[in-house]
Amino acid sequence: MTWYLIGSLAALLTSFGFVPQMVKMWRTRSVKDISLLTLGQLALGVSLWTVYGVHLRDPIIIAANMISLATLLLGFLLYRRYSARKRT
């Protein structure tokens, strides 16, 4: 039970770890300092982690990485939106 809680808390923290960054991108409408390469590398990485989680049959690893992937894809959209945007 304790291990389940530790794993779940770890999963929650890292799965939603990119959320504060997204909120900051959204609020400031500035993405100048964000590394697109980090976004891409992490997106590919968590996709493979999901596949590995299926192999281990570990639902925590699968769910955590699928949520991470979703937030990273949203991050891409925000990056694209605000890197192209001109202040008027």
Residue tagged 């999901």 (tokens) = 50
Upper half-sphere CA count for residue 56 (Cβ side, 13 Å): 12
Kindly tell me the sign of the dihedral angle through the C-alpha atoms of 43, 44, 45, 50: positive
Of residues 14 through 73, those in contact with a second copy by CB under 8 A are 14, 16-21, 23-25, 28, 30-35, 37-38, 41-42, 44-46, 48-49, 51-52, 55-56, 58, 60
Kindly tell me the sign of the dihedral angle through the C-alpha atoms of 24, 30, 34, 40: positive
- Considering the complex, what minimum distance in angstroms separates the CB of residue 67 from a second copy? 12
Binding residues for a second copy, per CB under 8 A?
A: 3, 6-7, 9-14, 16-21, 23-25, 28, 30-35, 37-38, 41-42, 44-46, 48-49, 51-52, 55-56, 58, 60
